[in-house]
């Protein structure tokens, strides 16, 4: 049986992970580092952790020959650090405050936690290797970590605060539902186009939105992460927008529109246009944030990279 790599990668992306930057020094003593979310704890006795590294990584030779490495678990406000170490930037370390850890690898300030490790074992694993590290020193700041899933950052703390802030007003849930680079839009009562959604009744939750999108589209729906939370100050209604994926098959109502040529002139209101414009821009980069504010102004927060 042959598995399609992109589909398999997308399925792996359903697992919510933290975001780390793995660091060491090269043969000249210069610090190197890369963003990775393939990290996990392994053992308390002895204290072990692991990180997976692609054999195609430009850091492969340095990492597999290093005497040790550090894992820096990024805090929820460090999306920029993640992006810096995920890109081919000349001097990545100029963007962070770092020092040598007790065992010698670079550790960052203001992270959720760091672990300075000796290289315990390098294990071959298909198109990757597993770097098994023995923890020689660590520090835990107690901060919430930055999360990542399905191509986007997320912050559970931010999401909870945003949703709790709207519990004293009516809530409308909707979804930017995507399939193969197209977004599903429905026809509203005035003939405009809008996001599929539902007004929440007492006791309902995300299942009500999933059911509503499935009812509109007639295909399976894969709920995703929080994408936008904003209050309409004129109607005193909170709008909560999630990302979602649509299954295969023709849609029953509404239509699919390419992300890069969405019919903005037909969108029902300015707030929905802003949601779709931001989604189109972020989808092209593969990095998604969460907007929190009102229908006119707010802030996009880091919410969910590759090693």
Average pLDDT per block of 10 residues along the chain, 307 residues long: 75 73 94 90 93 92 95 87 83 91 95 95 93 95 74 56 58 92 95 93 73 93 83 87 90 94 94 95 82 85 46
Q: How far apart are the first and last CA of the chain?
A: 28
Angle at 304 between CA 288 and CA 291, to 5 degrees: 45
Dihedral of CA atoms 183, 188, 192, 193 in degrees, nearest 10, equals 0
Do 154-302 and 5-149 fall under one CATH topology?
A: no
pLDDT computed for residue 30 by the predictor: 92
Segments in the chain forming alpha helices (H): 5-12, 60-65, 79-86, 156-165, 206-217, 270-285
The domain defined by 154-302 folds into: Nucleoside Triphosphate Pyrophosphohydrolase (3.90.79)
| Whole-model pTM over 0.85 | no
For the chain, the domains span: 5-149, 154-302
- Of 3.10.310.40, 3.40.190.10, 2.60.40.10, 2.30.110.10, the CATH number of 5-149 is 2.30.110.10
pLDDT computed for residue 302 by the predictor: 58
pLDDT computed for residue 90 by the predictor: 73
Phi-psi region of 35 (alpha: psi -120 to 50; beta: other; left: phi over 0): beta
pLDDT computed for residue 148 by the predictor: 72
């Amino acid at each position: 049986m042959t598995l399609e790599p992109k589909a398999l990668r997308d399925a792996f992306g359903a697992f919510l992970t933290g975001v780390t930057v793995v660091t060491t020094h090269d043969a000249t003593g210069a610090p190197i580092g890369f963003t990775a979310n393939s990290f996990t704890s392994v053992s308390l006795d002895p204290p072990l952790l692991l990180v997976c590294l692609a054999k195609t990584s430009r850091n492969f030779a340095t990492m597999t020959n290093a005497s040790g490495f550090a894992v820096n678990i990024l805090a929820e406000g460090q999306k920029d650090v993640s992006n810096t170490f995920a890109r081919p930037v000349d001097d990545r370390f100029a963007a962070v405050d770092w020092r040598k850890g007790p065992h010698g690898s670079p550790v960052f300030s203001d992270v959720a936690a760091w672990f300075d490790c000796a290289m315990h074992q390098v294990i071959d694993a298909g198109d990757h290797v597993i770097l098994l590290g023995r923890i020689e020193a660590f520090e835990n700041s107690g901060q919430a970590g930055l999360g990542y899933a399905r191509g986007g950052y997320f912050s559970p703390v931010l999401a909870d605060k945003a949703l709790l802030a709207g519990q004293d007003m009516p809530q409308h849930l909707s979804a930017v539902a995507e399939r193969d680079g197209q977004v599903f839009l429905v026809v509203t009562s005035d003939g405009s186009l809008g996001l599929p959604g539902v007004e929440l009744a007492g006791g309902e939750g995300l299942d009500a939105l999933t059911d509503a999108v499935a009812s509109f589209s007639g295909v399976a729906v894969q709920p995703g992460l929080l994408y936008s939370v904003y209050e309409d100050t004129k109607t005193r209604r909170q709008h909560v927008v999630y990302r979602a994926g649509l299954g295969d098959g023709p849609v029953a109502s509404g239509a699919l529109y390419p992300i890069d040529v969405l019919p903005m002139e037909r969108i029902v209101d300015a707030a929905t246009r802003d949601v779709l414009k931001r989604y189109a821009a972020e989808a092209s980069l593969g990095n998604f944030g969460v907007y929190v504010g009102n229908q006119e102004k707010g802030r996009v927060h880091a919410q969910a990279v590759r090693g």
